[in-house]
Amino acid sequence: MPMAQVSATCENKNCRSTEKNAIATCFSMECASYNINRPIRYCSQCNNIRHNNRRGTDHIVHTTIGSPWAMEPQMQNFTIEAIVSLLNEAQPYGDKTKSKDQERLNRAGLLDDLDKGDGPSPEEARLLSRYGVWLIVSLCAPTSDTPPEVLGRLLAALCHWYNATQYLPDDQQRTSLERLKSEYLHNWLQDVCKSHFEVFVGCLMPHPVEHARVGGHWDALATRTDHIKEGFNRLFCLVTHELVSLQVWDRVMPHWMEAIHNEIPEEERDELKITLNKLLDSDMSPLGFDAAQMYQFITLRFTKTSASVQEQTLSWLQILSSLNIVVSMDLLLGMFSEGVSSLCNTSPPSRKTSSSTRPDSSILEPVVEDDLGSSSGLSEEDRPPSDHPEDHYSNPQLILTCFVLMLDVLFKQMEVQELERHQGTEAQQSQSIMILIRDMLAAPCLAPHTCDGHLDCTTCELTTTFFQLAMDVVAFLCPRMAIQNNRVADIIPPEMESSQTTKSPELSTTQDPQSGSCTQSPRPSSLLTPREVGLISVMANMPQIVTATVETVGELDLAPNIPQESVVKAVARAVTLTEEDVGM
């Protein structure tokens, strides 16, 4: 029957249900006879009355799709895969490759020979994906009995859909899709986060479980670097829609920072600079957190933690600093002060291989990616080696490594934030930095040690690097030393620069009134002022004053290099005279 003639309410004349929305259509003649021999529409109550174990078992009934959680496993799988396929219509991963091929064929003039096919356009495909959203919201409400594998697959498909519809032209289609996100999906995702937090977090990890690898880069042969970049963009798309809470942020960010450190080469990290800058901008970040909350996942890893945990966290700060991402100096100094205190005053626990990074854990442990490298087809030999030295360093060397990394990050942040050079040590930040260096110098790891001077000593290299960085930080803060002028005129006070100062300070000049001659008589030391006595002692201990001479250095004389002006000589070969010149 045409959809316009299909009733949306129950067509049973004896219906007594309060909910009269039709959910089933019966095509049997027994039921159709009640509706002028046409298929009849029943509500839920009437459908249960007409079709139960005692009657209507042989009727052909078409019902609406129910909740997948109540379906048989095979039917449930078909329903979930249909929803996932609808969501993937938003942007197949092959679109980017196809557009590159079309551009190449356009240049070659061969596009007319290309079989374009009868598939829907990208705009039509995105509109088709709306049905997947409606099916999720209407049928797949999260319950306590929801299978985690099925719910995780739906969540992963939704994350891909958010990423595919993030950057669209500002037109009616974008308005329609954005309305779905705000009016339908936001509340549904919030309910999933409350009822199935671990499933929600697992879909946002850099290496999700197998059933959560849906759409986009997971459906194509992509490199490990591409997996991390695309996955991080998915996380960013959810952040912009206020779907990442502080609890979720603290759980997923340590794993993302470790994945960026281990799996993305240094020369390719600039591609994540824009995304990281947007996320970690304390003023314009879409997270809605302040700076302390934003970096809480890092701050927690400096409080009463082992050297291996701090070394791993400092490697993340090095990545952020290399990308010129600003970390508040007060927050950074607070982290490092807690870290130095933990390393110097407590005995660090032994390292355990665990991926637990929960804030409520009594002892935090280094983040370990359990699925490193499984996202691509590379072999074990092709995996990048870990850059963390805690596996082959002793504990004092690891503590010294943490100090070196702290000073390196601190010096880089001072340059990134463009702190005033040579501002002195009186400022509050300068004093905090000097206190931090003082606490590092008091650490037991800087105590003298014995080694073979002919062989490479790791402790000696780390100690040398530490003192070089400490000197750079102190030189950045300390003011420039003023130039000392040792001229006598600067030492002698102005009142002594009279004609009497040319004579000995121990003699006084007297004049005989009768003869008019002048004589010099000794002046008692008791009559000298304390200032004059001090000046005498200074001048007595002064080195011999050497008069400066002027010397001309030939190599620095610029006069021979200046071209001299010369008169150009010319001889006239012919002279032309006019009639006026000869008086004609």
Which of 157-171, 362-376, 542-556 has maximum average pLDDT?
A: 157-171
Nearest to 192 by CA among 139, 242, 151: 151
| Better pLDDT: 80 or 353 | 80
| Amino acid 535: pLDDT | 47
Sequence-distant (6+) residues with CB within 8 A of 419 are 329, 429, 476
Of 365-369, 448-452, 530-534, the one with minimum mean pLDDT is 530-534
Q: What are the phi and psi torsion angles at 478 (to 5°)?
A: -70, 145
| Amino acid 583: pLDDT | 62
Task: State the Rg of the chain over Cα.
Answer: 42
Q: What are the phi and psi torsion angles at 235 (to 5°)?
A: -60, -40
Average pLDDT over residues 188-217: 91
Q: Rounded to an integer, what distance in angstroms lies between the CA atom of residue 344 and that of residue 314?
A: 17
| Amino acid 218: pLDDT | 86
Q: Answer whether residue 351 shows pLDDT above 90.
A: no
Q: How confident is the model at residue 33 (pLDDT cuts 50, 70, 90)?
A: very high
Q: Rounded to an integer, what distance in angstroms lies between the CA atom of residue 216 and that of residue 226?
A: 11
Q: Exposure pattern of 115-126 as b/e (b: 16+ CB <10 Å)? A: eeeeeeebeebb
Average pLDDT over residues 436-458: 81
Q: Rounded to an integer, what distance in angstroms lies between the CA atom of residue 143 and that of residue 199?
A: 13
pTM: 0.71
Residue type, 72: E
Q: Answer whether residue 563 shows pLDDT above 70.
A: no
Q: How confident is the model at residue 424 (pLDDT cuts 50, 70, 90)?
A: confident
| Amino acid 366: pLDDT | 80
| Better pLDDT: 432 or 382 | 432
Q: Rounded to an integer, what distance in angstroms lies between the CA atom of residue 156 and that of residue 164?
A: 12
Of 193-197, 262-266, 483-487, 532-536, the one with minimum mean pLDDT is 532-536
Alpha helix positions (H), 51-196 = 73-88, 94-108, 122-128, 130-139, 148-164, 172-180, 186-195
Q: Answer whether residue 532 shows pLDDT above 50.
A: yes
Q: What's the longest Cα–Cα distance across the chain?
A: 161
Q: Answer whether residue 553 shows pLDDT above 50.
A: yes
Q: How confident is the model at residue 404 (pLDDT cuts 50, 70, 90)?
A: very high
| Amino acid 65: pLDDT | 85
Question: Mean pLDDT of all residues in the chain?
Answer: 78
Q: Answer whether residue 102 shows pLDDT above 90.
A: no
Indicate the SS3 state at residue 235. Answer: helix
Residue whose entry in the numeric block shows the structure tokens 């309410």 = 9
Percent of residues, the chain, with pLDDT higher than 90: 38
Q: Tell me the CA distances in angstroms from 96 to 86, 106, 119, 174, 278, one per residue in order.
A: 19, 15, 16, 20, 25
The model's pLDDT over 285-294, given as tens digits with 9 standing for 90+, comes to: 888 889 999 9
Average pLDDT over residues 123-147: 90
| Amino acid 384: pLDDT | 45
Average pLDDT over residues 520-541: 50
Estimate to the nearest angstrom the gap between the alpha carbon of 136 and the chain centroid: 33
Q: How confident is the model at residue 486 (pLDDT cuts 50, 70, 90)?
A: low
Residue type, 401: T
| Amino acid 92: pLDDT | 57
Which of 280-289, 338-347, 466-475, 506-515 has maximum average pLDDT?
A: 466-475
Q: How confident is the model at residue 427 (pLDDT cuts 50, 70, 90)?
A: confident
| Amino acid 458: pLDDT | 84
